[in-house]
Chains A and B, each alone.
Chain A
Amino acid sequence: NAGVTQTPKFQVLKTGQSMTLQCAQDMNHEYMSWYRQDPGMGLRLIHYSVGAGITDQGEVPNGYNVSRSTTEDFPLRLLSAAPSQTSVYFCASNRHTANTGELFFGEGSRLTVL
């Protein structure tokens, strides 16, 4: 099993550009989520999904969009990138819809916005 796969691993954007961070899991997990990690701030929840067609906001959703058309994929879209979105982004999944139990994380996507 590949687990949780994130692409790209590294990306540099200019302010105002758009892009999509991809996340795929092959464990048939219902729950998926996106976090960003910044120095001194810890991991902060951006958006999460408890199944295909269902998404909800986390702690820091502004500037990000998500959709969940399949169980496997949960892309994160930045419509107009800002320097404040420079961060490391992690996708995570959990086999329980209620998210009880361990989170499986991807290896991260490092985004720099100039």
Chain B
Amino acid sequence: SQKIEQNSEALNIQEGKTATLTCNYTNYSPAYLQWYRQDPGRGPVFLLLIRENEKEKRKERLKVTFDTTLKQSLFHITASQPADSATYLCALASSGGYQKVTFGTGTKLQVIP
């Protein structure tokens, strides 16, 4: 069956360090992969999208990599700040149906001052 796995354990890092979050998937042929941020009690907010033919995407302090051979995406936040503390969700849209976007369970990031 199709599965998206994100580390369910919280990730605690020191302010100023680079946070790296992992998204692994099985039994998917993703057309694209997205990362969202979700704060407690709020809806997810879109951060970045990377397509299957792209290896890396950057936006300010954020960087996403996409390895379709390893079936993995890495999400990096450089020079992390306490304001980056949130849950980060990975989402996949299969080439067979963009309408059905599937989300991982998310990884909670805590940046310690």
Is A45 touching B43 in the complex (CB atoms < 8 A)?
A: no
Is B43 touching A107 in the complex (CB atoms < 8 A)?
A: yes
Within 8 A of A (CB), among B20-37: 31-32, 34, 36
Q: A100-B32, A102-B34 are in contact. Are A107 and B42 (CB under 8 A)?
A: yes
Is B43 touching A90 in the complex (CB atoms < 8 A)?
A: yes
Task: Check if B49 is an interface residue, CB within 8 A of chain A.
Answer: yes
Q: A105-B45, A108-B41, A108-B43 are in contact. Are A99 and B99 (CB under 8 A)?
A: yes
Q: How large is the interface on B (under 10, 10 to 19, 20 to 34, 35 or more residues)?
A: 20 to 34
Instruction: Mark A residues whose CB is within 8 Å of B.
Output: 4, 31, 33, 35, 40-45, 48, 50, 56, 58-59, 90, 92, 98-108
With A42-B104, A100-B93 given, name 20 new contacts (CB 8 A): A31-B99, A40-B105, A42-B4, A42-B105, A42-B106, A43-B89, A44-B103, A45-B102, A56-B99, A90-B44, A98-B99, A99-B93, A103-B34, A103-B44, A103-B46, A103-B91, A103-B101, A105-B44, A107-B41, A108-B41
Measured in the bound complex, the distance between the Cα atoms of B104 and A43 in whole Å is 7
Q: Give the A-B contact count at a CB cut-off of 8 A.
A: 63
Q: Which residues of B contact A42 (CB under 8 A)?
A: 4, 89, 103-106
Is A58 touching B100 in the complex (CB atoms < 8 A)?
A: yes
Is A43 touching B100 in the complex (CB atoms < 8 A)?
A: no
Q: Which residues of A contact B104 (CB under 8 A)?
A: 42
- Nearest A-chain residue to B90, judged by Cβ: A42
Q: Which residues of A contact B4 (CB under 8 A)?
A: 42
Is B100 touching A98 in the complex (CB atoms < 8 A)?
A: no
Is A43 touching B44 in the complex (CB atoms < 8 A)?
A: yes
- Nearest A-chain residue to B42, judged by Cβ: A107
Is B32 touching A99 in the complex (CB atoms < 8 A)?
A: no
Is B98 touching A45 in the complex (CB atoms < 8 A)?
A: no
Which single member of B31, B43, B100, B105 contacts A48 (CB below 8 Å)?
Answer: B100
Q: Which residues of A contact B106 (CB under 8 A)?
A: 42
